[in-house]
Structure 1
């Protein structure tokens, strides 16, 4: 463990209270602008720091970790996802990895419900008409959407966020179904009034709305592939506030364009900021810029978790949110 204050490099701008507290506790390098670091800048930072604080915009792969200096002992990621970090290679190099789980649960679940409402009630279409100044008044058949109550919601991934979505969905009168690697305990199923499906194929073919709430891992890449998307009802809607790589985006775009699916609400994309013009042009989609966890309260709580992880490490203990390969 290095003597004195830890050298910490932060790769993106963080909320002001978080940056100020870091400055008080550590020898920290903060960013003056909010552009992502280049690969060269990341490599240089990993060469001079005891602790790197990256975000999901920083791809820290095996070759980058191989260039890390002898000082680097902790990658304290700001965010709950860790698929941007090669955790196994870091561990082999003796570098610990931590994240900030649980903080964004309620915020992301709120946004999931917002997207469900936006797609099924055609909110963006109404907004566009009002902003254009072309609204001609109420009509019995104008902007007809669908009622959420009574529909079947299938939740793919029943972790913290999936369960938070289920609690909200019940209040809207949705019937909750789910597929998960492991079945929930009976008391949790009862509390959520949720029906478990061992077969994902069987579940998706019967749902009116499918909400993606599982992480991106090798086993979930394109879990919703073209074959599985075709099992969905043409009247069904798909919502994704988790990771874009879980859905085959090209197949989804084709099906939405052909009206083989009724609609989609997406906050994440398979290729990051590279969203296809074909998808962006579709009238039956609601697209958001990865803002599901974007609340002031959530970002500050994430920063506090990063600080606790670093401080605990500095005191010679295991960070409370350490990530190990077996967890992935």
Structure 2
């Protein structure tokens, strides 16, 4: 029995690639460059499925030129803003995404940036790396204490909620605005 053909447009994790190669006849874009409109249109005639990232754009114009062979666009991304959903639906092409997989990672990056800004991390790193740091003083690079501070979050979606959870670990008082 022939396996369905799958085009993976970007380099993904080894575990993902191993699973795909087990279950599908896979072609991987090892160059790891975004697929162009021309490549997407061509692939629609050669593949049953495409795993793109947010870097590939499925506009109505591109989708209108697709072959009838393509049955699914299985996004390796949280959003689908790069896909013209009505055009894909009209062609009978299913579209999936991976919601919530980046909420914690994004919240962690927000926490990293907040802590870095509060404690002058970039400036401190530069001082150390350039050899400009020669002594300690009580007022040098003190920054702002985050623990126990008040945090405002605009938008309590998945990322906002994950960020609030992490902030509670710093005993922060969380305030938010949500439409």
For the criterion TM > 0.5, the same-fold answer is yes
1:67-102 deviation line (CA, Å, top 9, x unaligned): 111011111000112111112221122111101112
1:255-281 deviation line (CA, Å, top 9, x unaligned): xxxxxxxxxxxxxxxxxxxxxxxxxxx
Q: 1:77 corresponds to which residue?
A: 75
Q: 1:275 corresponds to which residue?
A: none
1:104-139 deviation line (CA, Å, top 9, x unaligned): 222222211111101111101111111111112112
Residue 49 of structure 1 is aligned with which of 47, 50, 63?
Answer: 47
Residue 61 of structure 2 is aligned with which of 63, 68, 77?
Answer: 63
Q: 2:38 corresponds to which residue?
A: 40
Q: 1:21 corresponds to which residue?
A: 19
Partners of 2:87 and 2:152 lie apart in 1 by: 35
Q: 2:162 corresponds to which residue?
A: 164
Corresponding residue SS for 1:28: strand
- Higher Rg: 2
Corresponding residue SS for 2:141: coil
Segments of structure 2 that go 5 or more residues without pairing to the other structure are none
**Does the CA contact (< 8 Å) of 2:151 and 2:172 recur in 1?**
yes
**Does the CA contact (< 8 Å) of 1:120 and 1:148 recur in 2?**
yes
Q: 1:147 corresponds to which residue?
A: 145
Corresponding residue SS for 2:122: helix
**2:125 aligned with 1:116, yes or no?**
no
**Does the CA contact (< 8 Å) of 1:54 and 1:76 recur in 2?**
yes
Count of residue pairs the alignment pairs up: 179
TM-score w.r.t. the length of structure 2 is 0.91
Q: CA RMSD in A?
A: 1.7
Q: CA deviation at 1:4?
A: 4.2
Partners of 1:59 and 1:87 lie apart in 2 by: 11
Which is bigger in relative contact order (C-alpha 8 A, separation at least 6)? Answer: 1
Which piece of structure 1 moves more, 32-41 or 45-54? 32-41
Segments of structure 1 that go 5 or more residues without pairing to the other structure are 182-328
Corresponding residue SS for 1:47: helix
Q: 1:281 corresponds to which residue?
A: none
Partners of 2:58 and 2:153 lie apart in 1 by: 30
TM-score w.r.t. the length of structure 1 is 0.52
Corresponding residue SS for 2:95: strand
Residue 123 of structure 2 is aligned with which of 115, 122, 125?
Answer: 125
**Does the CA contact (< 8 Å) of 1:47 and 1:67 recur in 2?**
no
Q: CA deviation at 1:27?
A: 1.3
**Does the CA contact (< 8 Å) of 1:49 and 1:71 recur in 2?**
yes
**Does the CA contact (< 8 Å) of 2:8 and 2:26 recur in 1?**
yes
Partners of 1:156 and 1:97 lie apart in 2 by: 29
**Does the CA contact (< 8 Å) of 1:6 and 1:26 recur in 2?**
yes
Partners of 2:139 and 2:29 lie apart in 1 by: 52
Which piece of structure 1 moves more, 112-121 or 140-149? 140-149
Partners of 2:108 and 2:161 lie apart in 1 by: 12
**Does the CA contact (< 8 Å) of 2:44 and 2:68 recur in 1?**
no
1:31-50 deviation line (CA, Å, top 9, x unaligned): 22222223322221233221
Partners of 1:61 and 1:143 lie apart in 2 by: 49
Partners of 1:156 and 1:87 lie apart in 2 by: 28
Q: 1:270 corresponds to which residue?
A: none
